[in-house]
């Protein structure tokens, strides 16, 4: 009998947002406990800070130059190695991915890629070594499993989400892609990912080995968490993030020493559809908008941590750990933050 493996990823979560890494805003007891009882890698470096290259490295174990996914929009080759495939074929593991996959381009008007079609086809895999996949992205966009679930069961709630890459202003400060979403917390994609992970765990037999990739789309933009939770951190109480230079002039001075397109992007002279909304001009953001977005990011971080605790406790209830507490890891668990 091998290990039970829960692999947890988040999207665009800063290393120092966790309490175990010095974070002082979001409460993250589940992640802090994993670090306290396990290994906290303090000098680990992502092979690429962009979403698809980073995720392709995670599943293949290869450098970007080997698997070839150097940017979003470049699909992972169909014959690329997969840790899930290896565990399934060589170790007899049950394998699942719940949440965000993004090994294939998200922008797919021709519906070319299987990831973007499987939900409409009534399929949940198998794919890339995962026997079971239930996919979600950033809100009810596209046609992933979460999207269809929300549209089929709670269609009126879709309007509360912000469209990703729209740069639509909202919230208290008019910040881009911010909203206080009236969606019930239980219908938001963070809790949905945890719910579906628990459902998959519950259908496993006691003696089976398994590898589950639980992949949260948050705290990636848009910043539209459930309104019932969004005020738990008051943006008016926050200072600017510690790394913020403090003024547009200081930011421009720093960027002037970087590759030219960095300053051009900040000033609105350069756009990148895969990197952000074409209408978004970073230099136009106010300090209050930065504070409001920062607060909502940390709300999302807390919701993720609470979702993780719920899944970990359910695993413990199944008997795969000696104790059941919200602060004690029951199994081999690995947490990674990805960027997009």
What digits encode the pLDDT tens for the residues 277-312?
888 999 999 999 999 999 999 999 999 999 999 999
> What is the pLDDT averaged over residues 314-329?
68
CATH number of 4-338: 3.40.720.10
Least confident stretch, 90-99, 274-283, 321-330: 321-330
The residue among 166 and 131 whose pLDDT is bigger is 131
Per-residue confidence at 155, pLDDT binned at 50, 70, 90? Answer: very high
Residue 45: predicted pLDDT = 86
**How far apart (Å, rounded) are the C-alpha atoms in residues 205 and 2?**
14
Per-residue confidence (pLDDT) for residue 333, from 0 to 100: 53
Mean pLDDT of 120-136: 97
**pLDDT over 70 (residue 265):** yes
- Going by C-alpha positions, the residue among 156, 158, 161, 153 that lies closest to residue 181 is 161
Judged against a pLDDT cut of 60, whether residue 337 lies above it is answered with: no
Q: How far apart are CA 238 and CA 336, in angstroms?
A: 26
Chain segment 189-214, per-residue pLDDT in tens: 999 999 999 999 999 999 999 999 99
296 class by beta-carbon count within 10 Å (0-12 exposed, 13-18 middle, 19+ buried): buried
Instruction: Tell me the percentage of the chain whose pLDDT exceeds 70.
Output: 93
Say how far apart CA 255 and CA 265 lie, in whole Å: 10
Top-confidence range, 69-73, 249-253, 274-278: 249-253
Q: Residue 14 corresponds to which tokens in the numbers above?
A: 């800063």
DSSP state of 316: I
pLDDT confidence of residue 331: 47
**Residue 274: pLDDT band with limits 50, 70, 90:** low
> What does the pLDDT look like over 31-79, one tens digit per residue?
999 999 999 998 888 889 899 999 999 999 999 999 999 999 999 999 9
pTM of the complete model: 0.93
Q: What is the mean pLDDT of the chain?
A: 92
CA distance 313 to 28: 15
């Amino acid at each position: 009998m091998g290990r039970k493996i829960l692999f947890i990823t988040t999207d665009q979560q800063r290393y120092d947002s966790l309490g175990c890494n010095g974070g002082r805003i979001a409460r993250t007891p589940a992640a802090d406990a994993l670090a306290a009882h396990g290994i906290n890698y303090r000098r680990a470096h992502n092979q690429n800070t962009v979403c698809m290259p980073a995720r392709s490295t995670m599943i293949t174990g290869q450098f970007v130059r080997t698997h070839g996914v150097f940017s979003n929009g470049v699909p992972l080759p169909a014959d690329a190695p997969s840790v899930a495939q290896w565990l399934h074929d060589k170790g007899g593991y049950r394998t699942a991915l719940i949440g965000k996959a993004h090994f294939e381009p998200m922008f797919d008007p021709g519906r070319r890629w299987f990831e973007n079609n499987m939900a409409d086809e009534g399929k949940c895999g198998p794919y890339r070594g995962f026997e079971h996949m239930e996919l979600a992205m950033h809100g009810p966009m596209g046609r992933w499993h979460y999207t269809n679930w929300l549209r089929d069961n709670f269609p009126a709630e879709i309007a509360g989400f912000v469209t990703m890459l729209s740069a639509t202003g909202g919230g208290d400060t008019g910040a881009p892609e911010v909203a206080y979403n009236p969606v019930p917390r239980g219908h938001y994609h963070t809790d949905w990912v945890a719910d579906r992970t628990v459902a998959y765990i519950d259908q496993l037999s006691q003696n089976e080995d398994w590898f589950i990739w639980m992949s949260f789309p948050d705290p990636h933009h848009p910043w539209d968490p459930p309104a019932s939770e969004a005020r738990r951190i008051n943006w008016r109480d926050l200072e600017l993030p510690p790394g913020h230079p403090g003024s547009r002039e200081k930011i421009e001075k720093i960027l002037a020493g970087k590759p030219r397109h960095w300053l051009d992007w900040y000033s609105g002279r350069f756009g990148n559809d895969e990197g952000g909304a074409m209408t978004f001009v970073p230099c136009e953001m106010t300090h209050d908008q930065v504070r409001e977005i920062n607060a909502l990011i940390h709300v999302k971080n807390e919701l993720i941590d609470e979702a993780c605790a719920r899944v970990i406790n359910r695993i413990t209830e199944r008997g795969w750990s000696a104790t059941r507490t919200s602060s004690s890891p029951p199994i081999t668990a690995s947490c990674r933050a990805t960027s997009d």
